[in-house]
Homo-oligomer: A and B are copies of this chain.
Amino acid sequence: MKQIITFGEVLMRLSPEGNKKFMQANLLEFYFGGTEVNVGISIANFGEKVKHISCVSDDFVGDTAISYIQKFGVSTSAIVRSSKPLGVYFLEVGAVMRPSAISYNRSHSSFSDIKPEMVKWEPILKKAKWIHWTGITPALSKGAYDTLKTGLKLAKEKGIEVSADPTYRKGLWKYGENPKDVLSDLLSYSTIFIGGINEINEVLETNYGYSNEDFIEASKELIKKFPSIKKVFDKIRTPINSNWHKIRARMWNGKEFRETSDFDITHIIDRIGTGDAFAAGLIYGLQKFDDCKSMEFASAACALKHTYEGDVNYATVPEVMGILDGNTSGRFNR
């Protein structure tokens, strides 16, 4: 079985239990996460072989991050080590109208230390069928951008599928490159676009609105500009408040527009990593199903992720399929 490759930073997440503020707590729950490794673990939970590439700290925190990833059967053999610390983020979980708050300690992390020569792309991609990247990675450091670019280039040469989730987070871009240029460069090696109007407007420098019509036009323009891209998938979140969201998805695959109905997520357990669960669902789905079923699988996976604590989607394929089959009322599995 060929592998799916994810590449990106592994962060330690620290948050007080429940809805406590840091000022109220003396214990913090911790998880490891990061958008790309979340995608990788989620795909491994669907039964695929996955390898995650990263650079983690050369201390017991880095050891713990690696062991956390191994727990899910994801290969960590291409993870390298640095004397810099693992990136950390702190999270206070909101409720009702109170938003969650996040504070990062990642700007001099072990991952930002990565350099192209630290990753053996050739042997890795020889055994790979898919590589997934996000817009977080090239935002972190020149080394991260260069390393990713080296991999994507080789992937394109080898005809490996490249999915892009070019999330644009302004606060991260500090090392001097222009986000639009970098993302455009990386999109030129990509085949699947996972993102919405905001991401498209960012790379195209356009002003599309949020309607389905605009989405179709925007997708068309995107595909025109980046002809390697064949399909665009967009997950739409409608938050009522911090505890209650609705989730649906839409797609344009160059031929047809499709959209799903809403999942009503009335009691969110943890919304971090739900976008990653969507991406993972797509990557899995597009290997097994048609585009529309893939989108539905992805949005059910995304909905299910809201019910798991931590960054990781624990849902298995039968569990996602159960949701698609309409079993959404939570009857016991004995």
Residue pair B73, A70 in contact (C-beta under 8 Å): yes
Residue pair B269, A95 in contact (C-beta under 8 Å): yes
A285 within 8 A of B: no
Residues of B within 8 A of A334 (CB): 101-102, 104, 169, 171
Residue pair A103, B85 in contact (C-beta under 8 Å): yes
Given A71-B23, A90-B61, A105-B88, A242:B99 Cβ within 8 A:
no
Given A26-B29, A60-B103, A97-B328, A20:B333 Cβ within 8 A:
no
Residue pair A330, B19 in contact (C-beta under 8 Å): no
Given A94-B330, A101-B60, A21:B263 Cβ within 8 A:
no
Residue pair B306, A96 in contact (C-beta under 8 Å): yes
A227 CB, nearest partner CB in chain B, Å: 34
Given A24-B309, A28-B27, A94-B330, A85:B99 Cβ within 8 A:
no
Residue pair A304, B98 in contact (C-beta under 8 Å): yes
Task: Digitize A309-321: 1 where CB-to-B-CB distance is under 8 Å, 0 elsewhere.
Answer: 1100011000100
Task: Digitize A40-61: 1 where CB-to-B-CB distance is under 8 Å, 0 elsewhere.
Answer: 0000000000000000010111
A64 within 8 A of B: yes
Residues of B within 8 A of A266 (CB): 96, 240-241, 243-244
Give which listed residue, B19, B23, B314, B323, contacts A269 with CB less than 8 A: B19
The distance in angstroms between the C-alpha atoms of A169 and B334, with both chains bound, is 10
The distance in angstroms between the C-alpha atoms of A304 and B19, with both chains bound, is 12
Residue pair B103, A57 in contact (C-beta under 8 Å): yes
The distance in angstroms between the C-alpha atoms of A267 and B31, with both chains bound, is 25
Given A28-B28, A85-B105, A90-B60, A99:B332 Cβ within 8 A:
yes
A308 within 8 A of B: yes
Q: A23-B64, A94-B307, A98-B307 are in contact. List 18 more A-B contacts (CB 8 A).
A: A14-B14, A18-B309, A23-B71, A24-B310, A25-B26, A60-B92, A71-B71, A85-B103, A88-B105, A95-B306, A95-B307, A96-B268, A96-B307, A97-B304, A99-B332, A100-B330, A101-B332, A171-B334
30 contacts across the A-B interface (CB closer than 8 A): A21-B314, A22-B61, A23-B60, A26-B26, A26-B30, A27-B28, A27-B29, A59-B90, A60-B101, A60-B103, A68-B71, A85-B103, A86-B105, A88-B105, A95-B269, A95-B306, A96-B266, A96-B307, A96-B330, A97-B303, A97-B328, A99-B333, A239-B330, A240-B266, A241-B267, A241-B329, A242-B307, A243-B267, A244-B267, A267-B267
